[in-house]
Amino acid sequence: MGALTSTASEKIRLAVVNPALRQRNCGKALCGIAAFVTLGLIGHLIVLLWAQHDFTPVEALVVLHSNMLVHGEGLYWGVNRYPFTISAYGPIFYTASGFLHNLGVPAYQSARILSYAALLASLWLCWRALGYLTSNTFARITVVILAGSTSNILFWGTTGQVDMLACSFSLAAFTAFLKFREQRDRRALVLSGIFVILAIFTKQTFLAAGAAIGVTLLWDDRKHALPWIAGVAIAGGGIAFTLNFVTHGGFFADAIFANINPFALFKLQQHVQYLLMTGTGIVVTALAGAIRPSHRALPLYIYAAFSTCIWLLTASKIGSDLNYQMEMMLVLAMCAAYALDQLDFFPNLFAARQTWVTVLQLPLLLHIAINMLLSSRVIAERALFEPVKQQETMALKPFVDHPGRLLSVHYDSLVHNRGRIEVEPLIYNLLVRAGLTDPTTVLNDLEARQFATVILGQNLFEPPPAIEDLEFGRLPNLQEDAIRKNYRLVKHVDGLNNVYIYEPRSH
């Protein structure tokens, strides 16, 4: 027994004093953490393929718009005709998702598979991008672990919305630019411009990568700066004006002007609170790297600064969600991993030196633990809510799957039973308030009882809440008064969405 104890003690002593052994042990630890991250990715994949109902209301809207596009109803309808909804993003995701659905892939899965493929591509691009900044394999593995364990990235990377695809295009542009900067490969510079345009025409706010590339070129390579900036601007502008011409002004109306929602401070507070809870470790480590600035990493930190600024400018929009943080978190994860290399974190760790740099492992390990717990919770909630949503959608089926016009806030039932939408109450209300949409068309149709069914999220025959929730899908007051006058409440479905069904009064 004593001999066994002595042997164990000797192994511990060797692990402490032998840097090579500590390096191997750290490598094993990273592989173990990576295995848990992989399990999380697999868990999300299983749920996204299995679940047949929406993860978010916007996911259902994206699926509806994609379906309407491939069935010849177009996209970007403008703000003053039916359907009173906006295609809020660029055409790339709608087109690709609709194409997959047209090939026979189920509606939600067509969008989610795109997002998941973009998530995997983004993790690979983080690895590739960091490879142009450092040869440290441990740092490159760390960025994949940090990004792949972040719950917010996993949530939106497995939801059928446009953000993850836009992220992957932005990261592809940035990676191609780093290749140009390292190898002077002009084809890579051209490719970076193409990916910047693809990112913007997936989601308009993904400007950070292009801005970072342009500023870096102006800083240290003006020979290529002006041609690159001019080429991207001319090509992007040409595509935008062509889209607007083809859609009779609908592209600018939907994707730009209708996207200027009201701002509210409480939205930014929500974002900051979540970031502090789930991203502090990455932010602290990324900032620590700024102690030793490097010209090589200049574009990375410029990219981080631009993505943070765009997040701060857009996070307080009514209707914004945590997907607005995704690009920033991916870039900050790269900054954090690069910082570990610049600060000699790994050599200090392998040599068992007690310095402030090695203490950075604590916030990063805490980041991984908190986010993996949150990600597990997301997987569990999606699995638990799926049968509830199925029951809710089935309860609405008799009212949705029949002839006649329909106004509904329950978008999931529209995906399953209609494949199209006529009025999106939240956006319609915001556009009417902003004076962009003429309210008389829908009002007249309600007064004339043209809608066979109206499905709302509140009982209009009860007193309204004392404090108005601008993010709740209500109609303008005049339209609600028209429903009270011309419609009767026929059913209340008490589920996750708590919906009320109205039908026209008999004359």
- 3-state SS, one letter per residue, for 11-51: HHHHHHHCHHHHHHHHHHHHHHHHHHHHHHHHHHHHHHHHC
Cα 74–chain centre separation = 24
Q: How far is CA 424 from the centre of its chain?
A: 21
What is the model's pLDDT at position 370?
A: 95
Place of tokens 């109902």: 53
The Cα 242–Cα 220 span in angstroms is: 34
CA–CA separation, 329 and 331 (whole Å): 5
Query: Closest by alpha carbon to 59, among 117, 112, 105, 120?
Result: 112
Give the span between the Cα atoms of 452 and 503, in whole angstroms: 6
The C-alpha atoms of residue 253 and residue 251 are separated, in whole angstroms, by 5
pLDDT given at position 63:
96
What's the CA gap between 82 and 78, in Å, rounded?
9
Record the pTM. 0.92
Reduced to 3 states (helix: H, G, I; strand: E, B; else coil), residue 133 is coil
Task: Answer yes or no: are the C-beta atoms of 286 and 308 closer than 8 Å.
Answer: no
Residue 188 has what pLDDT? 96
Q: How far apart are CA 43 and CA 370, in angstroms?
A: 17
What pLDDT is stored for residue 20 in this prediction?
76
- Only one residue has tokens 């916030």, namely 363
Which amino acid appears at position 477 of this protein?
Answer: N
Burial class of residue 10 (count of CB atoms within 10 Å of its CB; 0-12, 13-18, 19+): exposed
pLDDT at 285: 94
pLDDT of residue 507: 66
Using CA atoms, how far residue 129 sits from 105, 182, 200, 356, in Å, is 32, 11, 20, 27
Which pLDDT score is estimated for 467?
65
Rounded CA separation 305/312 (Å): 11
| Distance of alpha carbon 195 from alpha carbon 121, whole angstroms | 13
- Ranges of the chain with pLDDT below 70: 1-18, 466-471, 507
Tokens of 455: 């499905």
What are the residues facing 408 on neighbouring strands? 455
Name the H helices within 132-262: 137-149, 151-157, 163-183, 186-200, 208-220, 222-246, 250-255
Chain CA centroid to CA 5, Å: 53
> How many Cβ atoms sit within 10 Å of the Cβ of residue 393?
23
pLDDT of amino acid 221: 84
Helix (H) or strand (E) holding 455: strand 451-456
Q: Is residue 64 within 8 Å of 416, Cβ to Cβ?
A: no
Half-sphere exposure of 216 (CA within 13 A, CB side): 24
Three-state DSSP class for residue 242: helix
Instruction: For residue 227, say if its preceding peptide bond is cis, omega within 30 degrees of 0.
Output: no
Sheet holding 451-456, edge to edge: 405-408, 451-456, 499-504, 487-493
Q: Do 250 and 77 touch, CB atoms closer than 8 A? A: yes
Per DSSP, 69 falls in state I
SS3 state at 367: helix
The burial of 280, by beta-carbon neighbours within 10 Å (0-12 exposed, 13-18 middle, 19 or more buried), is given as: middle
Closest CA to 326 of 177, 174, 205, 145: 205
Judge contact between 147 and 329, C-beta under 8 A: yes
β-strands 499-504, 451-456: how paired? antiparallel
Give the CA distances from residue 108 to residues 47, 70, 116, 291, 426, in Å, rounded to whole numbers and listed in that order. Answer: 12, 15, 12, 45, 22
Residue 184 gets the label, from left (phi > 0), alpha (psi -120 to 50) or beta, of left
Burial category of 463 from C-beta neighbours within 10 Å (exposed 0-12, middle 13-18, buried 19 and up): exposed
Check if the beta carbon of residue 262 is closer than 8 Å to that of residue 435: no
Under 8 Å between Cβ of 397 and 417: yes
